[in-house]
Amino acid sequence: MTNEMLSNPSASATNAQNAADQPALALGRGLDVGTANLVSSVQNAHGEIVVKSERNAFLELPSEFTVNKAMLTKLSVPYVNWENRLYVLGDSSFELANLFSKDVRRPMCDGFLSPHEKDAIPMLRFMLERLLGKPSQPGEPVHFCVPAPSIDQENDTIYHEGIVSGLVQKLGFTPHAMNEAHAVVFSELEEQDFTGITVSCGGGMFNVCVAYKSIPALTFSVGRGGDWIDEHVAKVMGVTTARATAIKEGDVDLRHPKSREEEAVVLYYRSLIEYVLANLKQRFEVTHDVPQFTQPVDVVVAGGTSLVGGFTEVFAEELRKVDLSIPINGVRRAEDAFTSVARGCLINAQFSSEG
């Protein structure tokens, strides 16, 4: 699998995959529209899955930077002019935010478009344009993920899905929405006949899917994720949220914290895992059409928030404290946790085209 990080500075997406020296791409794309990261996937003519990723964030530069566009271009910093203001997009915005001790701005919050960010839609549009490029042919299908309804907060899935669908369509693609954790079923549970429990651990939310033979029998989300950890660590440690994110994404092992900051990260990670599993147990108890699993099933965790050291071990430890009344084979991390949702969306797109 090829993982290509975007860096070409342009408001218009660079259609690198259509360059003459590149192999033709198979039709169909997968798109993970995450609170913290955007990830796309496509299969090229050689059968390889090509993945592109971009941090779902932006930073408005001070007015004195407007004269330095040439320098930004030279340094391969992606930026865009919007309403006479200069914005840096993606990973570079996070790096500059840390440099200037500022927080990035985010198009999304808690898994959905942020109602408090006035530039959310145009900034998301620019980043999706950079990420997807142009369709291989008009109307090429893009299967993108949407969160499940949350059990602990009000959210409008219809509005979020409609806006993202409209942005994808304006780029010349045909959009199709699918459940986020269900996408992980397609990418990680093929050898188990697409049967098991998947948890997509994102920046804004944790999404859960219980599937039997690829059919989602139970899906839900909780309004806590990596951002929830960052916000609480920032508050108790007295640092910016961007700094707390950098600590969490550093060399942290949940089993062996090495500083007060890392101890705070561990505390909130454990609290979040306990919260998700308690709600999973409750949903099993109140939902009457959950399949009766006769064979042990795998629990697969995916998403950027699961990448911290010791996550699967701590998750398995907390799972043993919860009686789900079904046989569990074990807990494992997705083969590539960061791209698992995007790859699952791509697989679903391919299955749909075959049907």
Domains plus CATH for the chain? 2-185+338-354 (3.30.420.40), 189-333 (3.30.420.40)
pLDDT at 66: 54
Q: DSSP string covering 17-82, please?
A: GGSTTSPPEEEEEEEEE-SSEEEEEEEETTSPEEEEEEES-EEEPPGGGGGGHHHHHHTT--EEEE
Rounded to the nearest 10 degrees, the angle between the axes of helix 241-248 and helix 226-237 is 110
Of 46-50, 65-69, 254-258, 351-355, minimum mean pLDDT range = 65-69
End-to-end CA distance of the chain: 25
pLDDT per position as a tens digit, 168-210: 999 999 999 999 999 999 999 999 999 999 999 999 999 999 9
Q: How many CA atoms lie within 13 A of 297 on its CB side?
A: 25
Question: What is the spatial distance between Cα 299 and Cα 332, in angstroms, rounded to a whole number?
Answer: 6
Radius of gyration for the alpha carbons in the chain, expressed in angstroms and rounded: 20
CA gap 135, 26 in Å, rounded: 11
The one-letter amino acid code at 305 reads T
pLDDT tens by residue, 265-318:
999 999 999 999 999 999 988 887 788 888 999 999 999 999 999 999 999 999
> How confident is the model at residue 18, as a pLDDT?
40
DSSP letter (8 states) at residue 155: -
CB distance 53 to 90 below 8 Å:
no
The model's confidence at residue 17, banded by pLDDT at 50, 70 and 90, is very low
Residue 11 confidence (pLDDT): 37
221 pLDDT above the threshold of 50: yes
Q: How many residues are present in the chain?
A: 355
